[in-house]
């Protein structure tokens, strides 16, 4: 039976699944973009494209920041610094060095890392499901790195790349935890738009300071430009709109279950877009982390109940 005031209509389900699938595409796309564009320049373009996509939705679907409190703006600045700048930069640098499969596996650990951080930062209760998810995530990531086979995808320094992607997961967890500090007067859609606007000029400064050839886009192929446009417009703009709109209508169990689509999308697209060959260690490592994700889905479902 659906929860009171919720919907399990086909449109709601499609919004949740498509939103998560688009979020998952960011991992293999990051490898393509990082190989063709300067990191901070590409990150600025992502923010700019995302803002163009998000702005009309924020205009029509929200109160346009009318109920935002002053304290919210400090939280938004922190979200921009950690969840936008920190996450995007470490993800791009990390995916330059490791494979799409390894990156996708590590990103699958985000719910478990977020839950562990909530225990440390906010004193949230720890239980066997959260602890088990974190252990499975650590073991799975170790397995896919230690058991990786030769030729499993082009990578220059897979362990360093894996460490950077793991850092990106921590920044993503920071984004989620910081969002809990926002007042009820600001929606998730407004938060995403505001954080993107704040992050854009920060990336301009970082590009001028650290990119070898700032704002030089001559190295981008047609495929890389398509990846960059999709990365900004779909994963940075459209995905939050679909996901947050679906979450507002869906029962908690459906929302939690849809989380499983993101890592599956990331892994599948790593094979399709990056041409990485399948090896059994992939299945072992990803399977362990995904089992941990299932535990977190159960945990989220129970908390909603």
Q: Please report where in the chains the tokens 């030729």 appear, as a residue.
A: 151
Tell me what the mean pLDDT of segment 140-151 comes to: 75
Q: What is the pLDDT of residues 62-82, one digit of tens each?
A: 999 999 999 999 999 999 999
Q: What pLDDT, on the 0 to 100 scale, is given for residue 6?
A: 65
Q: What is the pLDDT of residues 245-283, one digit of tens each?
A: 898 888 877 888 899 999 999 999 999 999 998 888 888
pLDDT at 23 over 90: yes
Q: Do residues 48 and 257 lie in contact, with contact meaning Cβ atoms separated by under 8 Å?
A: no
Q: What pLDDT, on the 0 to 100 scale, is given for residue 149?
A: 52
**pLDDT-derived band at 174, boundaries 50, 70, 90:** very high
Report how far Cα 196 is from the mean position of its chain's Cα atoms: 14
For the chain, helix, strand, coil in percent to 5 are: 80, 0, 20
Closest-CA residue to 171 (of 301, 72, 43, 11)? 43
Cα torsion at 158, 162, 168, 170 (round to 10°)?
A: -160
Q: What pLDDT, on the 0 to 100 scale, is given for residue 2?
A: 46
pLDDT at 102 over 80: yes
% of the chain with per-residue pLDDT over 90: 77
**pLDDT-derived band at 90, boundaries 50, 70, 90:** very high
Tokens of 84: 């936008």
**pTM for the whole structure:** 0.91
Tell me what the mean pLDDT of segment 127-147 comes to: 92
Q: What pLDDT, on the 0 to 100 scale, is given for residue 151?
A: 44
Q: What pLDDT, on the 0 to 100 scale, is given for residue 152?
A: 45
Cα torsion at 285, 286, 292, 294 (round to 10°)?
A: -150
Q: What pLDDT, on the 0 to 100 scale, is given for residue 282?
A: 86
Least trusted range by pLDDT, from 15-24, 120-129, 150-159, 233-242: 150-159
CA dist 171 and 78 (Å) reads 11
Residue 220's Cβ-side half-sphere holds a number of Cα atoms within 13 Å equal to 20
Q: Do residues 32 and 225 lie in contact, with contact meaning Cβ atoms separated by under 8 Å?
A: no
CA dist 181 and 120 (Å) reads 15
Q: Do residues 242 and 53 lie in contact, with contact meaning Cβ atoms separated by under 8 Å?
A: no
Tell me what the mean pLDDT of segment 170-194 comes to: 94
Query: Between 30 and 251, whose confidence is greater?
Result: 30
Q: Do residues 76 and 195 lie in contact, with contact meaning Cβ atoms separated by under 8 Å?
A: yes
Mean of pLDDT over the chain: 91
């Amino acid at each position: 039976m659906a929860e009171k005031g919720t919907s399990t209509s086909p449109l709601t389900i499609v919004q949740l699944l498509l939103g998560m699938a688009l979020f998952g595409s960011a991992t293999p796309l990051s490898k393509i973009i990082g190989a063709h564009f300067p990191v901070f320049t590409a990150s600025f373009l992502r923010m700019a494209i995302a803002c163009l996509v998000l702005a009309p939705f924020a205009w029509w679907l929200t109160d346009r920041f009318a109920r935002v409190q002053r304290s919210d703006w400090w939280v938004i600045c922190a979200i921009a610094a950690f969840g936008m700048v920190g996450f995007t930069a470490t993800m791009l640098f990390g995916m330059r060095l490791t494979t799409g499969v390894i990156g996708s596996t590590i990103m699958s650990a985000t719910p478990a890392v977020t839950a562990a951080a909530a225990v440390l930062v906010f004193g949230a209760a720890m239980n066997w499901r959260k602890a088990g998810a974190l252990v499975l995530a650590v073991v799975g990531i170790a397995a896919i790195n230690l058991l990786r086979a030769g030729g499993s995808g082009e990578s220059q320094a897979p362990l360093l790349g894996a460490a950077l992607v793991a850092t990106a997961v921590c920044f993503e967890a920071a984004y989620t935890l910081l969002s809990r500090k926002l007042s009820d007067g600001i929606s998730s859609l407004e938060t995403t738009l505001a954080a993107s606007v704040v992050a854009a000029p920060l990336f301009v400064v970082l590009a001028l300071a650290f990119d070898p050839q700032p704002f030089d886009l001559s190295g981008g192929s047609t495929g890389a430009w398509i990846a960059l446009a999709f990365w900004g417009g779909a994963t940075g703009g459209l995905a939050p709109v679909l996901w947050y709109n679906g979450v507002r209508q869906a029962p908690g169990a459906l929302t939690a279950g849809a989380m499983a689509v993101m890592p599956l999308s990331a892994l599948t697209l790593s094979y399709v877009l990056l041409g990485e060959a399948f090896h059994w260690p992939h299945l072992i490592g990803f399977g362990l982390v995904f089992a941990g994700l299932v535990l977190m889905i159960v945990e989220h479902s129970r908390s909603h109940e």
